[in-house]
Amino acid sequence: MNNSAEWASCDPICRDAMKQLLTRHPVGPKHLLPPAPTEEQVCLAVAAALRAPDHQKLVPFRFVLIPDDARPLLGELFADSARRSGKTDDEIAIERDRAMPGPLLLAFVVRIENDHPRVPPHEQWLAAGGALSNFLTALHVMGFGAKMLSGRKAADPAICNAFCGSGETLVGWIAAGTASQAPHPRENDNPDAILRRWQPPQGLQDASQS
Ligand SMILES: Cc1cc2nc3c(=O)[nH]c(=O)nc-3n(C[C@H](O)[C@H](O)[C@H](O)COP(=O)(O)O)c2cc1C
């Protein structure tokens, strides 16, 4: 199946939508410049996140906007985590600076109910992943670049405590803004590699014929 040929033949609205979906790409914080998405645009991206498939509508995720004037404090948390893990002064300074690039920064937090009677944890994680994907794609559709980042510091207890309540997991941070350069060319994705027709196991076929 040639996906670009398939979507090129549909109507203009469908074609534009498919083009957006098929061209989303990550843009790292170093390549993100102002303007950042406005709060209204962030709200729209969150609304798109809420449209992701979510069994029983548990909404097991949330986004946390990090105000610009709180970035230095976040940088100190990053630096402190690096210091505790035995990094050199230069490495600590690099970690401190990681709180600064990208005109908009949000944390992404997930809350999984391990004992939910109907929705197992893997379905809740998938709902959170779908939400993250919709959020990033919505920013792309609105003309912004973004990238999800985590690293070991996302598991640092002091950093987690600064973002999470009890039972929550800090997944990481989303940097967003306006891409300063065109995306690197990327190999075509290959849907055929992951799309297969189901072959019922032979035993099932034999049973249905007997
Ligand atoms: C939960 C999560 C955490 C990630 N953490 C990092 C990270 O710390 N560093 C990094 O370079 N990429 C990280 N990535 C990958 C990038 O966000 C991005 O997905 C990757 O560069 C591939 O591009 P794609 O968005 O087209 O898949 C993470 C992705 C996810 C979903």
Distance, in Å, from the CA atom of 88 to the CA atom of 23, rounded to the nearest integer, reads 39
pLDDT in tens, 115-132: 999 999 999 999 999 999
The neighbour count for residue 148, using CB atoms within 10 Å, is 16
Distance, in Å, from the CA atom of 110 to the CA atom of 125, rounded to the nearest integer, reads 8
Ligand 1 neighbour 26 (Cβ under 6 A): yes
CA torsion 19→22→26→31, rounded to 10°?
-30
CB 159 within 8 A of CB 99: no
Nearest CA to 108 out of 140, 126, 135 is that of 135
Closest ligand 1 atom, CA of 26?
25
Banded model confidence at residue 7, pLDDT cuts 50, 70, 90: low
Question: Which residue stretches of the chain are H helix?
Answer: 3-8, 12-23, 39-49, 71-84, 89-97, 121-141, 157-163, 202-209
- Mean pLDDT for 35-51 is 98
List the structure tokens of 1.
Answer: 């199946």
Is residue 2 scored above 50 in pLDDT?
A: no
List Cα–Cα distances, 160 to 44, 52, 65, 124, 155, in angstroms: 26, 25, 15, 20, 6
Is residue 49 scored above 90 in pLDDT?
A: yes
pLDDT in tens, 81-99: 999 999 999 999 999 999 9
Ligand 1 neighbour 147 (Cβ under 6 A): yes
* DSSP conformational letter for 63: E
Share of the chain above pLDDT 70, in %: 96
Closest ligand 1 atom, CA of 150?
8
Closest ligand 1 atom, CA of 25?
26
Ligand 1 neighbour 116 (Cβ under 6 A): no
Q: Which residues contact 124 (CB under 8 A, 6 or more apart)?
A: 55, 58, 60, 110, 112, 113, 116
- Which domains are seen in the chain, by residue range? 27-180 (3.40.109.10)
Ligand 1 neighbour 107 (Cβ under 6 A): no
Ligand 1 neighbour 143 (Cβ under 6 A): no
pTM: 0.93
Residue nearest atom 1 in ligand 1 by C-alpha distance: 171
CB 160 within 8 A of CB 170: yes
Centre of ligand 1 to C-alpha 126, Å, is 16
Distance, in Å, from the CA atom of 160 to the CA atom of 170, rounded to the nearest integer, reads 6
Closest ligand 1 atom, CA of 148?
17
CB 45 within 8 A of CB 135: yes
Centre of ligand 1 to C-alpha 204, Å, is 41
